[in-house]
A and B are shown apart, each in its own frame.
Chain A
């Protein structure tokens, strides 16, 4: 009987070695999202006054349209939305007194508001002869002055009606509507 010698070396067995693992990073992602709502605002310049000392022609007593036409005021506002719009509503100059035949206590006019976005001026207007606001105009993104100018003044009834003496009051409302 022959003895069987067993040893690894002798057997010539090779014991494979296991390679060490290289550690790798993993990434988790946090997505942060924000939004800015479309907004329009008037700053401290959200109100202005146009005062006309004398509305009538001192010779005829009729309305002198040149006392109204060309009168102007400035508002300051801004909008941050590309689809923001501007609308104007003008209300006539009225005297509280009752005007008998041949007299007028009512002055109509047209008001035009102009904003100045980078792409070019945008104007909206309204006439007091038609109730309600005028057609909206897209002004987009802008910040700065809004120039308001009066024009096309006429008494109602028209001349030769004389203007009733006293105080007259009207207004121009400029509305900015945000949009994107």
Chain B
């Protein structure tokens, strides 16, 4: 009888001190993406009124001297780390039916694009000057993210001129001379 009890106790002891089981951990991995993108906050199209393009002698005013404003700003949002700025423009042109020799209906000019970088070191100004044969679009990387701020891109005009400096400007209706500056901000 005594022997039987000892066996039982030993068996119980072995069961009570069985292996300890560790915690079990399940994992849910969460991944996400932010696509590189750019958008304009606010108006995507703005007008620059340059007013009277000719001087008293009929030739083009230098540097848009009669303009009310020579620059506009855009608020551009880009999530990418190094967006690209692109600039092109068309000359100010009046679609006159006939332009006599010694006259012109085309005013060339220079557009200058400046941008603010988040790092504080802004990229070099980008310039584009129209000509009778338009040059190709110019571009450059910002060199880092665009500054997260309003009006972080500015376009300015200057250097109004005609191909032949002595040409007189053909008269036009109000706002008859029209040109377009195109600014593109690409995420990459």
Contacts and interface: CB of A to CB of B under 8 A. Distances in A.
Given A47-B26, A93-B32, A150-B30, 11 more contacts: A35-B18, A37-B21, A45-B26, A48-B27, A51-B32, A55-B33, A103-B118, A165-B81, A167-B31, A168-B32, A175-B25
Interface string B13-35: 00110111101111111111111
Interface of B: 1, 4, 7-8, 11-12, 15-16, 18-21, 23-37, 39, 41, 77-81, 118-119, 144-145, 147-149, 187
Given A61-B77, A162-B77, A165-B37, A171 B118 contact: no
Given A28-B4, A162-B79, A165-B79, A53 B33 contact: yes
A37 B17 CA distance: 10
Contact of B145 (A31, A103, A170): A103
Interface string A69-109: 00101010100000000000000010101001111000100
25 contacts: A30-B4, A33-B8, A33-B15, A41-B24, A46-B24, A48-B26, A53-B32, A53-B33, A56-B79, A61-B37, A75-B28, A93-B30, A93-B32, A95-B34, A100-B144, A103-B118, A160-B148, A164-B81, A165-B37, A169-B30, A171-B27, A171-B28, A173-B25, A173-B27, A176-B26
A52 B31 contact: yes
A42 interface: yes
